[in-house]
Amino acid sequence: MKLSEICTKYCLAHELSADYEYQLEYAVRRFELHLGRPAVAGDLTPDAVNAWLRHERQSGQIADRSRRNVRQSILTLWKWHDPTAPTSAVRLVRVAKRPPEAWDFEEMQAVAEAAGRLHGHLKNGVRRALYFSTVLWFTFETGLRRTDVWRFDVTRLDDQRRASMTQNKSGQVHVIEVTPETHAGLMALHRHLSAIGARHARTPLHWPFNESAFYYWIRRARALAGIDATIGNRAMQHIRRTGATAVECAEPDGATKYLGHRSGPTLAWASYIDPRKATRSIMPPTTRHHHGQRTSRIGGTE
């Protein structure tokens, strides 16, 4: 049986998100690219998978984090197809831990305001500027993941602009609140889509194109704002990090609740909170010399 067929059967047998299905399919393509032909079940051996993972590391075509993800995806398909598969013999992929980075509020504001200057309309007639400025502020204010942002039903908002929803990934109930300005943007989108009888009128942040187009326009907004214009990974997840960092600075341990995590604060600190902004740096009280004087952080020069 072809590995692509195993992947298709696995996706049919499990309730998966579109993102995870894509991740599995991407792993199969990476493995087949290494083999130079369509992979079959018989290709799933420790030696073959280890050789592929070593090649991915040596070629440097994908980042270590992606290498770890494709490894796990292939092992998932392999174990599902053959529960006795010797997956423990497959080499591990070590990923260097990088501290999370987040924008300052002023940077977030600059990107959102630049999004409000984007020209043109989406294919449903919505002004591109209104859509992107609203989606960026909504993400920042609620801490929701992209999938939940795209499927948020505005009719759930009450008179205090609050709503509860079940998160797609965690299954946890999450309570959100938006500002009057963001609420006005949501309602403007909702009214336009309702007027034209759009299927997604109740979920006005639904994105009607492919994902790459969505991220293209966020990059355009960053370029207009002059914020991280040449850095690729600065979109919805980065905005969640920015919101989580801001919440943690204002309310210790509040980021976990803002993000809707089931676990304690460990995950928030490991993946979302920018430690430069949420923790106090530490230096010796006296350091360096300036014109024969020592500089003291406490009392100036000595």
Q: Which of 214, 190, 215, 191 is nearest to 203 (CA)?
A: 190
103-131 residue pLDDT tens: 999 999 999 999 999 999 999 999 999 99
Residues 112 and 219 in one domain: yes
Q: Which residue has the higher pLDDT, 25 or 301?
A: 25
Same domain, 109 and 136: yes
Give the containing element (helix H, strand E) for 133: helix 128-142
Domain termination residue (choose one: 89, 118, 137): 89
Distance CA 81, CA 75 (A): 10
DSSP collapsed to 3 states, 220-274? HHHHHHCCCCCCCCCCHHHHHHHHHHHHHHHCCCHHHHHHCCCCCHHHHHHHCCC
Tell me the sheet residues that pair with 165.
Answer: 174
Domain limits for position 24: 3-89
The CATH number assigned to the domain holding 158 equals: 1.10.443.10
Residue 235 domain-assigned (yes or no)? yes
Cβ atoms 4, 28 nearer than 8 A = yes
**77, 147: one domain:** no
| pLDDT value for 133 | 98
- pTM for the complete prediction? 0.76
How many Å apart are CA 131 and CA 229, to the nearest integer? 20
Instruction: Provide the residue type at 103 as one letter.
Output: W
Could you give the 3-state DSSP secondary structure of residue 177?
Answer: strand
Residues of 192-210 as b/e, b for ≥16 C-beta within 10 angstroms? Answer: bbeeeebebbbbbbbbeee
* Strand intervals (E) in 126-235: 162-166, 173-177
Q: Based on the domain organization, do 115 and 246 belong to the same domain?
A: yes
- My answer on whether 70 and 127 are in the same domain is no
Please tell me which residue, 72 or 302, carries the higher pLDDT value: 72
- Together in a domain, 170 and 224: yes
What pLDDT digit, counting tens, does each position of 150-209 carry?
A: 999 999 999 999 999 999 888 889 999 999 999 999 999 999 999 999 999 999 999 988
| Domain-located, residue 293 | no
State residue 296's pLDDT score.
Answer: 55
Answer yes or no: are the C-beta atoms of 227 and 103 closer than 8 Å: yes
Q: Which amino acid is at 228?
A: D
Shared-domain flag, residues 44 and 186: no
The secondary element (H helix, E strand) that includes residue 186 is helix 180-195
Give 28's DSSP letter: H
Query: Total domain count for the chain?
Result: 2
Check: CB of residue 143 under 8 Å from CB of residue 258.
yes
What are the two backbone dihedrals, phi and then psi, of residue 215, each rounded to the nearest 5 degrees?
A: -70, -30
Average pLDDT, the chain: 91
Same domain, 61 and 159: no
Q: Given pLDDT bands bounded at 50, 70 and 90, which one contains residue 281? A: confident
29 falls within a domain: yes
